[in-house]
Amino acid sequence: MADVEALKREAGVEACQFVTSGMKVGLGTGSTVKYTVIELGRRIREEGLQITGVPTSIVTENLAIECGIPLLELSDVDGLDIVIDGADEFDPDFQLIKGGGAALLREKIVAQESKIMVVVADERKKVSTLGAFPLPIEITPFSHSATVRALNRILDCRVNIRMAGDGPVFTDNSNMIADAHMGPNISDPESLEIEILKIAGVVQVGLFTNMCDAIVLAGNNGVKTILNPNGKLA
């Protein structure tokens, strides 16, 4: 691909086309959507855009404050107009794997409270079948080894606790991340999501099914917007 960072920026900026004054906007987490947050801040300063945002992570919250985006608590409003977020993988049915940034629980809460979900991504995230990217699963620290064993049994693959240096990664919710190395074999993400969530120690899983309405995709030939034919923008 061409300069990946430049393409990410172009896609992140392009996604802002969906945002208009008066909207309540979910602000995603990740290396591409950060450019969306920066661009929305610019539009507020230079164009008079009037929006309020709900961040999906502490990292995004800090960036939004730095960019001058007014923020609110999701609990204080009855839903959002749109969320713009990234993805680690997406398939032809617009099903997603998310959670590479360990923000999947907050991301899914914000997504389910949003009327529309727009994903920004580059072509490396486009796959025929989900699973080459290890599936992130947020789990409770309590008896986390037992939860990992249970995941191993039902998934029949290597599941490991995500580490940072000598210790585990902890989410903004003080939970841990278990990564399931399934390979590109997730042909039925809806059923798999249900099965994983049955395990008591699982808080949330990074399968975002039937949520994405459009993908702003950056590639060597520029940026294009792909609408989900079964989504709310079709």
Residue 202 predicted with pLDDT over 80: yes
What's the pLDDT score for residue 234?
86
Q: Which of 128, 86, 115, 108 is nearest to 217 (CA)?
A: 86
Annotated catalytic residues are 107
Average pLDDT, integer, range 37-46: 98
Cα of 88 vs its chain's centroid, Å: 8
What's the pLDDT score for residue 2?
57
CATH class of 4-125+209-227: alpha beta
Which residues make Cβ contacts (< 8 Å) with residue 31, sequence separation at least 6? 8, 86
- ∠173-179-181 over CA atoms, to 5°? 165
The pLDDT confidence band at residue 102, using thresholds 50, 70 and 90, is very high
Residue 221 predicted with pLDDT over 90: no
Q: Where in the chain is the domain with CATH 3.30.70.260?
A: 135-204
What's the pLDDT score for residue 232?
96
Given the structure tokens 């080459």, which residue do they identify? 132
Residues 102, 194, 217, 129, CA torsion sign: positive
**Mean pLDDT, the chain, whole residue set:** 96
Residue 222 predicted with pLDDT over 80: yes
The pLDDT confidence band at residue 127, using thresholds 50, 70 and 90, is very high
What's the pLDDT score for residue 68?
98
- ∠158-161-164 over CA atoms, to 5°? 130
Q: By mean pLDDT, which of 2-6, 56-60, 167-171 is the weakest?
A: 2-6
Residue 198 predicted with pLDDT over 60: yes
CATH homologous superfamily of 135-204 equals ACT domain (3.30.70.260)
What's the pLDDT score for residue 26?
98
Q: How many CB atoms lie within 10 A of CB 69?
A: 24
Average pLDDT, integer, range 59-88: 97
Residue 169 predicted with pLDDT over 70: yes
Q: Where in the chain is the domain with CATH 3.40.50.1360?
A: 4-125+209-227
